[in-house]
A and B are shown apart, each in its own frame.
Chain A
Amino acid sequence: MTIDIAGLAAAALQQVSTELALPEPIRLSDETDLFAQVDSFTIVDLLLETEQQLEAALGRYVPLGDEAVFDAEKSPLRRWANWVAHIGARCHDA
């Protein structure tokens, strides 16, 4: 089964933005540094929302959180394209 990971990731971010009523809309491009724009608690919400949407799409749980996600230097959320690639890699591993 193939899914549009980039679309799913963007939809998850949009859902979190809406639920948390984030003050500024986040403009997405491959270079977007999400880590710099939101706090760690929003990242928690983003991981949970993305995992839920992945589980609904794939029918299985795909864990996205690891020691790198919250690391200021190594986080894939430092660059949106890296985050999408991170999700893809996790889907492949799971």
Chain B
Amino acid sequence: MSADKLIHTKKYEKVAAQVRRHLITYVPTLAFFFLLLLVPVGLHFLIKNIYPSLLVSPISYPLLVLLASIYYLSVMLFFYTSFVEFYLDLHILTNDRLVDINQITLFARKIAEVDLYQVQDVSSEVKGVFATLFKYGNVEIQTAGTVPKFIMENVPNPHQLRRLILDLTAEDKKHHRNGG
């Protein structure tokens, strides 16, 4: 499904940008999962040194293999689920509105949208060593809509995005003033 179909764009509406969090912000989670993968390896060496009979017993050995398999598959499942929750946080900017899709958990999603002519103020911030090096940061949008503030967290090139939002907002406000 394309972004146009996802947000049911109107006839005159064009998608200007689809923004997700910068991939570099997922690296700490990746590192944590790699550490989790090493836990059974460590336990194997521990059992080998303390209870080596457990690794050769015809009862305990298959049970340990099944347990380790369940553990690794669980880690893979949690890793993939966390990636889906990370990657499905999406901001779609069109020439008419901003749609904010927030995947809270696997079975919980929040979608908020605001028409661009209701945008009052846009600010962008890049804070920290990694954020400066990899050019990501937050964009904060103040609106006159139901949701007073949108925050786009850890998005790539936030200053460029801020300018794009302001340009599109100015165009949309001109369009509404002209009664289009």
Binding between chains A and B:
no
Where the two chains meet, the residues of A that have a C-beta atom closer than 8 Å to any C-beta of B are none
Where the two chains meet, the residues of B that have a C-beta atom closer than 8 Å to any C-beta of A are none
